[in-house]
Chain A
């Protein structure tokens, strides 16, 4: 495991690492769906969070620091009435060529519109997605 991930909190209720390749996105969704269903009890909210999380991981897939050894860590937990998902990757988001930038911009718009989004740059990049849990 690269050093960056030793600093990442992976103690959440849902915690998994994925390789930075597009093929993992379907697996991520398969893994996350039962957890989101259990926590959110609302098909619309589950879909929204699933899209936002998939976008965050897709972004991370696009900009690994070192493609040979890139992992993405997804860690989710419930904090009072809120579901908090952190997506960590060891790369940095770079300025991009226009077409990809537009598409990535749309991904950010989706994450921001579907959840409460915050992005931290540390040794890598951490995307935090928050969504209220209504009961």
Chain B
């Protein structure tokens, strides 16, 4: 295998300004229903750049529900604390209506983030 040294420029070197090159985190959202309850399917990556959009999609699902919604996490390749913060905010809104937010089918990696932040029970992952 190749060595671990990348001094030959295979990766960005100091001074390269990558600030404006690429767009923000990319995720697509799709709404469906199971047993009359809204399900938000998330595909892609969630970070600070699209956490606001994630919140709006969750709020839209919650607005159509009687309080309980599910979020299909099987297609989430990346999420950070801003995305988790959004989920906690929506959970509080749902709970205020006597409802819940359930995370469905997270990857082992996503699940680990909920474990580390102590949120598995809150999202029905325990």
**A73 interface contact, C-beta 8 A:** yes
User: A25 touching B116 by the CB < 8 A rule?
Assistant: no
Contact with B along A3-39 (1 / 0, CB 8 A): 0000000100111111101111111111100110011
Residues of chain A with a CB closer than 8 A to B4's CB:
13, 38-39, 78
Tell me the B32-78 residues at the A interface (CB within 8 Å): 45, 47-49, 78
Contact B81 A110, beta carbon cutoff 8 Å: yes
Q: List chain B residues, Cβ under 8 A from A109.
A: 81, 116-117
Instruction: Give complex CA distance A44, B18 in Å.
Output: 26
Assign chain A's interface to a size class. Answer: 35 or more
A51 interface residue per 8 A CB criterion: yes
* Beyond A13-B6, A48-B109, A58-B47, 8 extra complex contacts between A and B, CB < 8 Å: A17-B16, A24-B19, A30-B22, A51-B79, A54-B80, A103-B82, A104-B81, A114-B116
B residues near A (Cβ < 8 Å) are: 2, 4-7, 11-26, 45, 47-49, 78-82, 84-85, 108-109, 112-113, 116-117
The 9 closest A-B pairs by CB, nearest first: A19-B19, A10-B14, A113-B116, A16-B12, A107-B81, A22-B49, A103-B85, A47-B109, A22-B48
